[in-house]
A = this chain, B = another copy of it.
Amino acid sequence: MSCPVVSVVAKSGTGKTTLLEKLIDEMKRRGYRVGAIKHDAHSFEIDHEGKDSWRLTHAGADTTVITSPEQTAIIRKNRPEPTLDETADAFFGDVDIILTEGFKRSNRPKIEVHRKERSPTLLCRGEEHDPTLFAVASDEPLEIDVPFFDINDAVGICNLIESRFLK
């Protein structure tokens, strides 16, 4: 039985990470174990150049793991890039909900973040109608066919996530 996955999507620069921070904080406050997945279209540098773990990865290790009493970090070379579902199944056996940043082309339920300064239109209600959109967080009122929340209303959005996916 796999864990519920909810994706926060938006045009770039709208504020996905800021909303996710608020949702994670609110879900933790409610006692849930929370996973987060960020999709990065480009390559990213997670480790610090010259550190032991960085040296092992750059020597050619296909997977490097660093363990400590507080946390474990894993850096794995891909072949090919895993899908959202594969990632969710592989690394999140012990959380109640997974919140993702991006993955707008997945078929998982989505919240779109909208700011009027950024764009007049929605990603999920543009040329294509995305049926997985189930809420919008916006800084201006919108005529929309799904529940609508103020962009800062983490409590309201978490209430909806809880009732739809966790109860």
Contacts and interface: CB of A to CB of B under 8 A. Distances in A.
Copies in the complex: 2
A11 to B, nearest CB: 15
Contacts of A53: 38, 44, 46
Interface stretch (A61-69, A114-122, A130-138): A61-69
B95 A63 contact: yes
- A: contact size bracket: 35 or more
A30 to B, nearest CB: 11
A68 B81 contact: yes
Contacts of A25: 59-60
A65 B91 contact: yes
A16 to B, nearest CB: 8
B87 A76 contact: no
Interface of A: 17, 20-22, 24-25, 28, 33-48, 52-53, 55-57, 59-78, 80-82, 87, 91-92, 94-95, 99, 101
